[in-house]
Amino acid sequence: MPVFVLPFPVIDPVLVEIGPLPIRWYALAYIAGLVGGWWLARRIAVNAALWGGRMRPLADSLDDLLVHAALGIIVGGRLGYVLFYNLDYFLDHPASIPAVWEGGMSFHGGLAGATLGIWFFARRQKVPVLSVADLCAAVAPIGIFFGRLANFIKPELWGRPSDVAWAMVFPGAGPEPRHPSQLYEAALEGLLLFILLQIAIRAGALKRPGLVTGLFAIGYGVGRIICEFFREPDPQLGFLFGGATMGMLLSLPLIAAGIAFLIYGRRGTSA
């Protein structure tokens, strides 16, 4: 046991109630991520110097992209959680599947849903899919950052027992101090990845189709695997084999896809 344990800053998951409608921090985190990503995507889209002549979505069309991406993230994220993390429970309680406000979203499922939304948007707007994918990848860490903060506030997806000085006792997680792994993920998968991608973009990465998408996929996959060593596995799954977790396994094909995009992007020619 650590000599000093940080108290968990208990925050009401409901920010305010408007009549019968509760406004939850969880929902606001998703909204902040989507709106923040939309705002930055518009700024990137109108900056012709960053693209080097590549065809890209018009800034005014990004309102539609926001809708496509939001639907993909919510539906895909929930279905991913249902299929990969808690299928037996939801087969017995199918009415709980739409209850996203109770928690339970899969990043990898949300990414798959967002990818489908990106494809539909690109087809409708008649722009290259990789241009849209690179633009979304550039701003995706904003949503990840706010989403992990929401996990911390809820609280859910807490870390493994630890004796580090900043360990916390999370409500509902037993008496043991634990890693605040949600904050690790917010910092690594969100803030640090965002900074690295913005540096790459300023260095000309958007001029090579697929490069930003590849950097995002590799960066998130590696960051997620690192954080999984500090995060408590989902109780219904536990450790799968050899200390591996579902989050680690789902990140491996993401890293592989990222490497493929990176190779493709590096072979491309900047305009």
Contacts of 210 (CB under 8 A, 6+ apart): 130, 133, 134, 261, 262, 264, 265, 268
Q: What is the pLDDT of residues 116-152, one digit of tens each?
A: 999 999 999 999 999 999 999 999 999 999 989 988 9
**Does residue 106 form part of some domain?**
yes
10 Å Cβ neighbour count for 259?
A: 14
**Does residue 191 form part of some domain?**
yes
- Average confidence (pLDDT) over 2-16: 69
Q: How far is CA 174 from CA 111, 195, 230, 235, in A?
A: 32, 35, 17, 13
**Does residue 2 form part of some domain?**
no
Lowest mean pLDDT among 98-102, 209-213, 218-222, 229-233: 98-102
Number of folded domains that form the chain: 1
Residue 56 has pLDDT above 50, yes or no: yes
Burial of 116 (0-12, 13-18, 19+ CB in 10 A): middle
**Does residue 250 form part of some domain?**
yes
**Does residue 75 form part of some domain?**
yes
Band of the pLDDT at 85, cuts 50, 70, 90? confident
At 231, phi and psi to the nearest 5?
-100, 135
**Does residue 145 form part of some domain?**
yes
Map residue 180 onto helix, strand or coil.
Answer: coil
Q: What is the pLDDT of residues 224-243, one digit of tens each?
A: 999 999 999 988 888 888 88
pLDDT for position 49: 95
- Element (H or E) spanning 136, and its range? helix 129-153
**Does residue 6 form part of some domain?**
no
| Domain of residue 214, residue span | 22-267
Band of the pLDDT at 30, cuts 50, 70, 90? confident
- Does residue 86 contact residue 122 with C-beta atoms inside 8 Å? no
- Does residue 76 contact residue 114 with C-beta atoms inside 8 Å? yes
**Does residue 15 form part of some domain?**
no
